[in-house]
Amino acid sequence: MFLQLKNTTIGYTTPLIKGVNAGLDLGEICLIIGNNGVGKTTLIKSILNQTPVLEGEVLLLLKNVEALSNKEISEQVAVVLSKSEIPANYTLRDLVSLGKYIHYPYYFELNSADKQHVKEIIESLNLSQYTDFPLQKLSDGNLQKAFIGRALAQNSPMIILDEPTTHLDEENKVIILKLLRKLAREHNKLILFSSHDWRLSKEFADKIWLVNEGQLDPGITEDILLRHDDMLNPKLFNFSDAFVPPQIIAPALQKEMLYSFLQKNAAKNLSHLRFEFIDPIWVITGHNFQKNCNSFAEISYLLSNLH
């Protein structure tokens, strides 16, 4: 087992996550998920020995991280944090190349193989046109990808990413997730990342570490989602005291969209109505009628004419 947490309690003076027993091996992709403030970033810092554990131990290749130097940890784990300091006067190529210097003194010139690897990483991230751009001129999304490129250049067995897709649009999220999955499968890397974007990430992660109420529940992604099925169901927020929803029979996404639409556009008591989604039609049933609607525009027109 490459990474092991044994009876580990994570936190500062007060525990955030207690009694963690979990492990991951090379070739696996694991998503850390949980609400803000539950300890996801602190957990990552404890794995890196940046925040000492309160109890138990964290092991890398059976060695306690507390006994490892920063250089020894860096040789095993590359890191992309959600907030990283931007080096002054660096281009994108400089930043990605920086990942190579974990293996050399800073005054060394990268060899041709290293430079070619840096070039390939930049291409894989769709950043070739920005190779010589100053970092300060990059968008938030491209800057985030550049920091991920630096971690890839480090070529460590494990990569930890804290909210790696926060500033990325859907296309670039998929690029990053596909690239990380390729690294895990084809290059036997262990990928551990935190994210709030679990709907996208669940298609990509082999395992989930769910942090909730001071506990960490680890397991196969599908097992965790079935064990915590509230994660799969949309939370339907009610912002209007006058709004009483109808009966809605639909898949989760369509149900969420209809609920949102009705609350914004028909904020009244609709409990006498029944909405059933039979793809691609909404069948709306009332006391004395039944209508089929193909769109929310048609639903809006129908509701405006109901008394």
Residue 292 β-bridge partners = 283
Band (264; pLDDT cuts 50, 70, 90) = confident
Higher-pLDDT residue of 35 and 272 is 272
Three-state DSSP state, 297: helix
**Which residue's structure tokens are 């507390």?**
66
pTM over 0.85: no
Q: Over 80: is that where the pLDDT of 258 sits?
A: yes
Question: How many Å is the Cα radius of gyration of the chain?
Answer: 24
For 76-97, how does the pLDDT look when each residue is reduced to its tens digit (9 = 90+)?
Answer: 999 988 767 788 889 999 999 9
Cis? peptide before 280, omega within 30° of 0: yes
3-11/15-24 β-pairing: antiparallel
Structural domains for the chain: 3-231 (3.40.50.300), 247-304 (no CATH)
Closest CA relative to residue 101, chosen from 113, 114, 112? 114
- pLDDT, the chain, mean: 89
